[in-house]
Amino acid sequence: MFTQLKQRKSPLAAAIGLLLLAGNVNAQDAVPASAEEWFKHGKQTVKAAEKLKHNERKARNVILFVGDGMGVSTVTAARILEGQLREADGEFNRLSFEKFPYMAHSVTASANQQTSDSAPTATAMVAGIKTNDGAISVDQTINRTEPSADVTAAKSVKTIMEQAEERGLSTGVVSTARITHATPAVNYAHISNRDWENNTNLPAGATVKDIAAQLIDFPYGNGIEVVLGGGRSNFMTNQSVDPEYPTRKGSRTDGRELTQEWVSQPKSAYVWDQAGFDAIDPSSTDRLLGLFERSHMKYEADRADDTAGEPSLADMTKKAIEMLQKNKKGYYLMVEAGRIDHAHHAGNAHRALTDTIALSEAVKMAQEMTNDKDTLIVVTADHSHVFTLAGYPSRGNPILGKAAINGVELKDSLGLPYTTLGYANGPGFIGEGTRKVFNPLTEGYVAAEYVGTKSRPDLSGIDTTDPNYLQEAAVPMGSETHAGEDVAIYAAGPKAHLFHGTQEQHVIYHVMSQALGFSGSHWGW
């Protein structure tokens, strides 16, 4: 799963290399061992930062990576886990995008919510405005259940993908979630309700097209070149047998077999498994649709067990870039690690963190295939989760384990051990008789034996590093919730320095647009 990062060849490469050297971020044996070495490390880091120069060039390409639900605590814990999996110092480790030279805070509040969902936060990133929860690339004045295509069109905001296609660039969207899910959908769809993913979800009498249909009927340029992710059932009729699950059929009742409509275009291909994906030759394929699950793709931790096989997020990123880079005018690509969010909702830190590491691998792949002389790469999150690291464990303590100092487990006021990782709310609430574990097959919960007589179970004999363990939650909820604090923006390449300080989330669009040299807007500015 983990690859080695190659040195980037660009004007910033030398300075970034010095930053990495100063930070010793991947060196397993280079953790400062004395006060003098720590002091020297800090001084070297500052000297390296002084050598950074702003890249004012126009970007040919923009790649936006979105870790859905990847708050700062998730990045920190994933950083530690990745290092520990390599038997390195996890605290001194850095994920690939943490080595980028520029960083800012993103304020994720939507137009109407203090804590937002993915629809308005992703819309902000690709359309440059704040809107309401549930809304997909439409403004905040629209009704949440607006059925009219005309009203929806009047309130729609043109996205950076649509603008890129108008200007002759190639475009793509990649996600481990359903490709019709909120974050990927904001690139190509305009709709008041994020849940209207296929025609059966629409209210009676609606004239607005469902999200899957809008992807196929995308009206700008020569259409989207690359679409890779999950959500196959939304593109198949209810008479079509699923190729991977022969007892299941598609969801559509309007007779539109959207996968076949896709391949009706010249040099277009549709794939649904690993073998089909591997067989695609980017040099002879101009348009690629890959839908690898009926719903969301597998978590990274479970991907190897998939019946038909699924490409990794890094694999999909590689294939997308190979296809898009054929266009000399450039490209826009969004890559979403959508299942970080789902694992957090399930209260399952293991899968949230391993999917975050998979995102880091995808960013590495993009770095290796591009040059920050002409490619702006932005890595961020749409929102955070109520996920915490706490308890004073010693450095090197297993991040998925119980809090301990030098191997001695710490105890709470009841005299019971506890984990370093936890949630403020969610299905992992621990009360007598309520302990649960995650079932990866059903993605539901299975009751587990309660150990002890107190208000918390005794975790002494429980392996909290088990992939199916649910971290404890303070407030009982069927699904853990998003959090409202800022998330981070990491950037490298042309105009990356425009990310600074604490910025509203919709500024991300405006930096990408500026980097690509786009002028004008939905309002003609």
Catalytically active residues are 118
Question: 228 near 288, Cβ under 8 Å?
Answer: yes
The alpha carbons of the chain give a radius of gyration, in whole angstroms, of 23
Question: For residues 272 and 290, is the Cβ–Cβ distance under 8 A?
Answer: yes
Phi, psi torsion values for 336, nearest 5 degrees: -115, 130
**What Cα–Cα distance (Å) separates residue 310 from each residue in 100, 116, 468?**
29, 30, 21
Q: Which amino acid is at 40?
A: K
Q: Are the C-beta atoms of residues 195 and 253 closer than 8 Å to each other? A: no
Q: Residue 328 and residue 506: Cα distance in Å, rounded?
A: 28
What's 201's DSSP letter? G
Q: Distances from the Cα of 238 to the Cαs of 181, 198, 226, 243, 519, in angstroms?
A: 20, 11, 25, 13, 44
Q: How far apart are CA 483 and CA 73, in angstroms?
A: 11
CB 236 within 8 A of CB 181: no
Tell me the C-alpha distance between 245 and 186, whole Å: 29
Residue 475 bridge partners (DSSP): 425
The CB density around residue 34, as the number of other CB atoms within 10 Å, is 8
CA 316/CA 322 separation, integer angstroms: 10
Contact 228, 271 (CB under 8 A): no
Alpha carbon separation from 287 to 185, 299, 322, 434, 482 (Å, rounded): 18, 26, 12, 49, 35
Enumerate the β-bridge partners of residue 333. Answer: 63, 172
CA distance 13 to 10: 5
Cα–Cα distance measured from residue 175 to residue 66, given in angstroms and rounded to the nearest whole number = 9
Facing residues of 332 across strands? 62, 171
